[in-house]
């Protein structure tokens, strides 16, 4: 049986916290954030117009190596708009993975489309390119440059892999399948800021990528998300849709299509500008935490989820794999009762009532990982980023 007591002692020692609650992931913030917020307040621009929005977009685009970035109120909004500008329409199918946070599937549903779930890989925790290819060969065909689901006659418009816990999926292989089947690749990189595969930042391989800056992410804007792309026309359209599709004018309110009030407020962006300055130090600290877990795992015989071959993960949330569901539940109970926060992975999408009837392939790896993997405290070490 897994020794939860040894784990609890290790975590409390790692964070120098002999008592009290050890959070799963706490933000790092201080005087720099306060100064930027004060500057935004003094400017009187606190809503979705202001210099900090542009500065934050430029900082993220530069860091990941993308030409354009459009900041939004949260990652779900970013993914929703990314799918819309990717051409996803009501009635379409969008292939994604069942092992993900619900926002991935919800954003597809917001477009009036239906998710199709394929399996993930044990090593990456992300979409399995072979599972994607297998589902397409069994269920789809390409007619005049459009992927069509044979049974329904509906277009299969896009593919949305997710970089689970910050570990990069085999995105190049997924991109090859998408190109073969005329699918638009939209990367859900909500958890993967700073993660790279073969030297390339997660989120930059697809036509569009999306990041989240929720309070529990590596950096935060309180709430927030961003769309990145190298396509200037797509970036322009994303900016238009997220600003209620308002046509530029000095005073008139003219809107030319259904848009959304999705732009990131200047106050949040000010916080994000400060956080981006901390990002390199935070990434280094989180790697130090992951290395400590890996060393402890070797000593105690734990199974620590490490970055995939060819990848450099941001280790957003560290994870252990337990032997079975019973061991997982006992571990969750013992650790949380002791004030050390742990949690299971998300309930797979096909087990949720609103997505139970969606198309899917065999999801054996998805279900096994969902039943055995737990997330463990992953905050940067005390003093990181200061």
The reported pLDDT for the residue numbered 1 is 62
The reported pLDDT for the residue numbered 72 is 98
Q: Where are the domains of the chain?
A: 4-28+278-350+359-376, 31-275
Render 336-359 in DSSP notation, one character per residue: HHTTB--EEPPPPGGGSGGGTTS-
Distances (CA, A) of 66 to 59, 179, 271: 10, 20, 21
The reported pLDDT for the residue numbered 103 is 98
pLDDT digits (tens, 9 = 90+) for 30-44: 999 999 999 999 999
Other beta carbons within 10 Å of 367: 16
The reported pLDDT for the residue numbered 250 is 86
Write out residues in the chain with pLDDT < 70, as ranges.
1, 385
The reported pLDDT for the residue numbered 385 is 65
What global pTM score does this model have?
Answer: 0.96
User: Residue 297 in contact with residue 303, Cβ under 8 Å?
Assistant: yes
User: Residue 219 in contact with residue 213, Cβ under 8 Å?
Assistant: yes
Distances (CA, A) of 253 to 48, 205, 257, 267: 16, 37, 12, 24
The reported pLDDT for the residue numbered 384 is 77
Which residues, in sequence order, are CB contacts of 282 under 8 Å at separation 6+?
A: 28, 218, 219, 380, 384, 385
Nearest alpha-carbon partner for 292 in 376, 216, 220, 217: 376
Q: Do domains 4-28+278-350+359-376 and 31-275 have the same CATH topology?
A: no
The CATH-assigned architecture of domain 4-28+278-350+359-376 is Alpha-Beta Complex (3.90)
Render 156-172 in DSSP notation, one character per residue: EEEEE-B-GGGPPP-HH
The runs of H, that is alpha helices, within the chain are: 4-14, 31-43, 51-64, 75-85, 102-110, 129-139, 171-180, 232-241, 266-300, 325-337, 364-372
User: Residue 340 in contact with residue 320, Cβ under 8 Å?
Assistant: no
Which residues, in sequence order, are CB contacts of 105 under 8 Å at separation 6+?
A: 96, 115, 349, 352, 355
Backbone angles phi, psi at 342, to 5 degrees: -135, 160
The alpha-carbon radius of gyration of the chain (Å, integer) is 21
Strand partners, 127: 120
Dist CA 68 CA 235 (whole Å): 6
The CATH-assigned architecture of domain 31-275 is 3-Layer(aba) Sandwich (3.40)
CA 359 centroid distance within chain: 23
The reported pLDDT for the residue numbered 383 is 82
Angle subtended at Cα 340 by Cα 334 and Cα 346, rounded to the nearest 5 degrees: 80
User: Residue 52 in contact with residue 40, Cβ under 8 Å?
Assistant: yes
């Amino acid at each position: 049986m897994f020794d939860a007591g040894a784990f609890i002692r290790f975590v409390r020692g790692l964070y120098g916290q002999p008592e009290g609650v050890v959070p799963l992931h706490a933000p790092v913030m201080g005087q720099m954030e306060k100064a930027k917020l004060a500057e935004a307040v003094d400017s009187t621009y606190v809503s979705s117009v202001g210099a900090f929005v542009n500065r934050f977009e430029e900082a993220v685009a530069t860091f990941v190596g993308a030409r354009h970035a459009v900041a939004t109120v949260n990652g779900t909004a970013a993914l929703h708009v990314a799918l819309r500008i990717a051409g996803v329409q009501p009635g379409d199918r969008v292939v994604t993975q069942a092992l993900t946070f619900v926002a991935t599937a919800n954003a597809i549903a917001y477009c009036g489309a239906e998710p199709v779930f394929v399996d993930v890989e044990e090593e990456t925790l992300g979409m399995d390119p072979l599972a994607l290819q297998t589902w397409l060969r069994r269920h789809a065909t390409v007619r005049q440059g459009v992927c069509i689901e044979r049974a329904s006659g509906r277009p299969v418009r896009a593919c949305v892999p997710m970089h689970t816990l910050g570990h990069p999926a085999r995105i190049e292989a997924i991109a090859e399948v998408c190109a073969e089947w005329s699918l638009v690749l939209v990367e859900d990189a909500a958890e993967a800021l700073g993660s790279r595969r073969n030297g390339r930042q997660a989120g930059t391989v697809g036509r569009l990528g999306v990041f989240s800056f929720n309070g529990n992410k590596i950096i935060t804007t309180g709430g927030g998300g961003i769309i990145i792309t190298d396509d200037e026309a797509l970036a322009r359209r994303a900016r238009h849709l997220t600003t209620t599709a308002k046509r530029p004018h000095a005073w008139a309110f003219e809107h030319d299509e259904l848009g959304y009030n999705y732009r990131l407020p200047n106050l949040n962006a000010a916080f994000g500008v400060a956080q981006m300055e901390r990002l390199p130090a935070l990434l280094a600290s989180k790697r130090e935490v992951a290395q400590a877990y890996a060393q402890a795992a070797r000593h105690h015989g734990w199974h620590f989820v490490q970055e995939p071959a060819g990848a450099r993960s941001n280790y957003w949330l560290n994870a252990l794999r337990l032997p079975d569901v019973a061991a997982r539940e006992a571990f969750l109970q013992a650790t949380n009762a002791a004030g050390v926060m742990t949690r299971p992975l998300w309930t797979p999408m096909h087990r949720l009532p609103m997505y139970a009837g969606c198309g899917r392939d065999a999801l054996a790896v998805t279900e096994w990982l969902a039943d055995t993997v737990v997330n463990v405290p992953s905050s940067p070490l005390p003093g990181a980023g200061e």
